[in-house]
Structure 1
Amino acid sequence: MASDMTASGPVPAKEGVVVTSNFHESEEKNQARVDSHDASDTEEPHEDFPWTWKTVALCCGVALSFGSSFAENILGPLKSTLIKELDINNAQYGAISSATSLVNTVLPIIGGYGLDYYGVEWGSMTCSIFIFIGAIVSAAGSNQDTFSLVLAGRIIMGFGSTVIETCTSKILAHWFQHRGLGFVYGLDLSIGKLIVLIAKATAIPMRDASSFWGWSLWIPAIVCFANLLQNMFYFWWARSRPEWTHMPTGQKAKGLEKKRLREQANNQVITDTASVTSRASWTSYIPDWRVLTRVPRFFWLVVCTQILQAGVVGGFNGLNADIIRLTRGSTEQIAGYTSAVQQVIPVICAPLVGAYFDFFGHRMLFVSLTSAIWILVYCLIGFSKVNALGGMVIASFASAMNALPFIASIPLMVPNQTELGLVFGIWKAFNNCASVIVDMIAGKLQDITPGGTYERVIAFFVAVKGLEFCLGLFYGLLDRKYLGGILTLSEMKRLVLEREGKTELHIGQKPGKPFTIVGLSMLLSLVIIAWVLFIMFSI
């Protein structure tokens, strides 16, 4: 028992009184005991959930971010409209485009850990409320043609738009228990692309439906309200399931720890029992941010070397309609339809790519393959006069494979589900910092280019993706050396290893202090850069 040990071993005391010289060691041992006995405190062990429940969880999980995704992706085809109606320049449009990402330079980490500690249901409801309020404020700005109000609404929306994606990731990882995750994550990406397709294709028709251009912002606000109602249903449904189906949380683990400490206090005389009980009470409500030191080193390596990659893809997705309009002389509506083609193939291909990961593996190989396709797309759209439709069809294949290798790999890098929200939050924080920085750089590069063209912007995109091509090969080598090849293995081979008891933690799945220090320092630097650039170009 933890209370029978000191820092150097058991110390005899008079008549059953035990002196504990190091409470922190005792607390850590109690926490380990909580983790090891957590399954036994449930009603009965269950290997899997009923498919009816998994289907409901899948439908509700992938639908959580419909409203925010629709509202965010409506902006690309409306760039020239916003510049004209709000009387702003390209850099200020970049501020609007990246506003939802700005607050998510730090918030995903806090929100992700909050999901781990307090539970997904409460977190998703909070996110949906912020998204709805932000959409209303932003839409109200269109009535006044006010840049600051539109910008403020996007910032408010940002308090929920990224964290709610982490909710989806945790919900799918819980209900599918790391089985078939590639497919369900691919399906989530597929449906997300369908929402983006609808948003891009309907942006201009919504603007032109009446003399008031603001309907293109008010209709997404209505969608966000419908999404809030759907989230209420999931909250009720998930909380009404039996206790054994509920997602494990840090708060529940702390509650079990407090219970065991109380039982020990009743059975034994512990020195300074009141102090122990008091400390347990505080720790059951206050999150323990030391969990940051338990983030695996391989995850830090990946996230720190992927700094601008997601930002480049997001920047191109937001600008491709305007690039097509300038380089091909298309109308805004035709350019919007052409750019929307990029979202078509991922609707079909993303689940197939995810299923490929489940059946065959080779996740990191797709990182280099996707980068090569993006480089081809940027060159075709930005430096040639070929039909833009062909370029966007090729881009759609890259979109189907872009983020999925990483999303499907993170639960394998970080097998502890009570840390999954945190690491997804860190991943999204890095990506959102990159989105802000890339949007600002792209806007500035366009403003300083003669004629306001996109040649320098495209050259920047090509350079960044050229680096990622090399990184994908590098990740594959490190996977075999430091992760035992789990990112390369198929799901069937991994499950065989689990049944044979050969799934011990590899060095890449363990924390490392230098990796943690470098990762947190880099994240802090990116947050500062993102905020400085945002303030410079939005005021």
Structure 2
Amino acid sequence: MPTTESTPIASQAADVDEKDRDVIPVLTQNELDGTPAATRYIPLRYRLIAFSMVIFFNTSSSFSESTLSPLKSTFREQLGVTNAQYGAISSASSLVNTILPVIGGLGIDYWGATYAAIICSTFIMIGAIISAAGSNTSHFGMVVGGRVLMGFGSMVIESAQLKLYSHWFRGSNLALVIGLDLAWSRVLSVISRSTAVPMSMINGWWGWALWIPAFTTVANLIICVMYWYFERRVPEKYRPPLGKDAAKKEGALRKVIEFNNLPKLPRFFWLFVGIQIFQTSVVGVYSSNLADIQTQTRGTSKLAAGYNSSLQSVAPIVLIPLVGAFIDRFGMRMFFISWTAMMYVIVIGLIGLTKVHPLGPIILGSFALSTYALPFSASIPIMIGDPRLLGTAIGVWKAFGNGGIIVFDVAAGAIQDLSGNNSYNNVIYLLMVYKSLQILYGFFFDWLDGRWLAHSLRKGEKERTEIRDRSIAEGVVLPGWKPSKWGMYIVMGELAGLTITAWAVYIVYSLGK
């Protein structure tokens, strides 16, 4: 065991019980994806070229998904569906992603994020075309089936993006880069939400609102192939390392994925994921129903409601990169989670239970949206510690998010149907109560961060990277980075139950048409 001196890691480790201490082998710079030599010194030109393509990987999927919310009443009219069945449409791409992100994450860690992005883009393109074709015959099954097929790529490609960002920018503006990616998603949201209803009016046929986004999926696939070509031209020492290459160096010629990464995931991550169940679903239900809430509670026209809804993504375009830069410099990730939850409780109450002008809560909600996803995306790589496990970890996180949105989306629609007059009141109460819990979660995890991770989550990017690098050099694993099989058993059991529930409610409502 290394001796404890005056370094932050050593002093932190000295306060940990002996059972929580562990010695790890000091890996070489080439073996560690994410050490300074492997990533921090990658020439800027390679980073910028990679970023200029990776940021567009999920463009067509995001564009297609964001057109759905303003079209809820259109779907009800054209396809004759109930509110719960609309929930089945809006969450269709999430169905397979109750399972697939975990498998996809293991694949990303083993075969690499680049090949995963190409495969995902292919599924997105085929699914979008099938879904759009369903509008030609007003066939509910084709619309849903196509979006299910899109789901085979839409979530895993996001994991591939984060894996690549963590390689190219670890220790250098990682949160800012993730923030720029999220800001681009908000730009797409503004464009798609504000144009969804106008697209549905082209030549008097609503199907154009599905076909135009479908056309963009072809360009998306081309960009992924271009990145693959670029990565092959980069000097090998700068390329993202692959799990299969490490396996070959160890003399193990593995032909299939080894499902041994799950037991390696650390205890902090398992606790964080297990407690956060359904939290991301609240924001998803709010966003997907925002336009319809306005028409039901205030009599706003579909066109105006679509435009109003798009405004929630305007402020984040500028604010998210600024939040990313703040996190890189000062940290405070868990406090952003509590702040965002508090904002959403206020926003959801104002839009659903009062008659104030919708632009008030929508604009306020744009500030909440600016600090919503980034703290999670910037925190998971820190909770994991080892970048080689990142794809698997993101996959587990995405699987929970997708299972939750299916259950919450369909349940919210069913609750609305039970009101008898399309009232959102009971839905709003549910969202507010559940989101209130997350206000407490942020403070709890900040406290736990101090005990388990030497406040890595509270630190800026440079400081938290130094904490991790020093822990490797000293051969000490802090408690939060230690694997936990019990954590894995409990949380994966939780995920299994959520998956079964999600598929059950989805099948009931999607086949009910």
User: TM-score higher than 0.5 here?
Assistant: yes
Distance in 2 of aligned mates of 1:509 and 1:496: 15
Q: Is the 8 A contact 2:172 2:462 kept in 1?
A: no
Paired residue for 1:489? 459
Structure-2 change in CA distance of 1:504 and 1:392 (3 Å): farther
Q: Specify which of 146, 168, 173 is matched with residue 180 of structure 1.
A: 173
Instruction: Show the counterpart of 1:462.
Output: 432
Deviation digits for residues 371-400 of structure 1, max 9, x if unmatched? Answer: 110000011100101110011000001111
2:118 aligns with 125
Q: Would you say 1:147 and 2:140 are equivalent positions?
A: yes
Contact 1:68-1:224 within 8 A present in 2 as well: yes
User: Does residue 515 in structure 1 map to residue 465 in structure 2?
Assistant: no
Structure 1 position 416 matched with structure 2 position 386: yes
Cα pair distance change 1:286/1:78, threshold 3 Å: same
Match of 2:421 in 1: 451
Aligned partner of 2:4 in structure 1 is none
The equivalent residue for 1:62 is 55
When the two structures are superposed, what TM-score results if normalisation uses the length of structure 1?
Answer: 0.87
**Aligned in 2, Cα 1:336/1:37: closer, same or farther, shift over 3 Å?**
closer
In 1, the alpha carbon distance for the partners of 2:246 and 2:469 equals: 27
1:194 aligns with 2:187: yes
* Equivalent residues of 1:138, 1:217 under 8 A apart: yes
Residue matched to 1:158:
151
Distance 1:444 1:494 in 2: 45
Residue 332 of structure 2 aligns to a residue whose secondary structure is coil
Q: Is 501-510 or 192-201 further displaced after alignment? A: 501-510
Query: For 1:378 and 1:127, how far apart are their aligned partners in 2?
Result: 34
Gaps of 5+ in 1: 1-30, 259-279
From 297, 300, 308, give the equivalent of 2:278: 308
Are the equivalent residues in 2 in contact too, given 1:203–1:216 (CA < 8 A)? yes
Residues 68 and 496 (structure 1 numbering): CA distance in 2 closer, same or farther, change over 3 Å? Answer: closer
The structure 2 residue matched to 1:210, chosen from 199, 203, 214, is: 203
In terms of Rg, which structure is larger? 1
Q: Which residue of 1 aligns with 2:337?
A: 367
**CA-based RMSD:** 1.9
* Seq. identity, %: 41
Instruction: Work out which structure has the larger RCO, using CA pairs closer than 8 Å and 6 or more positions apart in sequence.
Output: 2
Q: 244, 249, 252: which one pairs with 2:237?
A: 244
Structure 2 SS opposite 1:395: helix
Aligned pair partner of 1:525 in 491, 494, 497: 497
- Alpha carbons of structure 1 residues 37 and 361: separation in structure 2 relative to 1, 3 Å: closer
CA distance in 2, matches of 1:367, 1:112: 25
Match of 2:353 in 1: 383
What displacement does 1:492 show?
Answer: 3.5
CA contact (8 A) 1:178 1:411 kept: no
- Alignment-derived partner of residue 130 in structure 2: 137
Question: 2:13 aligns to what?
Answer: none
Alignment partner, residue 226 of structure 1: 219
Q: Determine the C-alpha separation between the residues in 1 that align with 2:380 and 2:180.
A: 17
| CA contact 2:171–2:462 (8 Å) conserved in 1 | no
Report the CA distance shift for 1:436/1:40 in structure 2 as closer, same or farther (over 3 A).
closer
Alignment match, 1:79: 72
Task: Quote the Cα distance in structure 2 between the aligned partners of 1:305 and 1:447.
Answer: 29
> TM-score normalised to the size of structure 2?
0.91
Do residues 505 (structure 1) and 477 (structure 2) align?
A: yes
- What residue is the counterpart of 2:304 in the other structure? 334
Partner residue in 2 for 1:257: 250
Give 1:491 shift: 2.4
CA contact (8 A) 1:39 1:45 kept: no
- Larger mean CA deviation between 218-227 and 491-500 belongs to 491-500
Structure 2 residues without counterparts, runs of 5 or longer: 1-23
User: Structure 1: which 4+ aligned runs deviate by more than 2 Å?
Assistant: 35-41, 44-47, 491-505
Find the counterpart in structure 1 of residue 326 from structure 2: 356
- For residues 484-507 of structure 1, give each alpha carbon's deviation from its aligned partner in whole angstroms, at most 9, with x where no partner exists: 100011223335546765794311
User: For residues 167 and 483 of structure 2, what CA distance do their matches in structure 1 show?
Assistant: 23
Shift of 1:194: 0.9
Question: Contact 1:497–1:503 at 8 Å: present in 2 too?
Answer: no
Q: Which letter maps to 2:219?
A: A
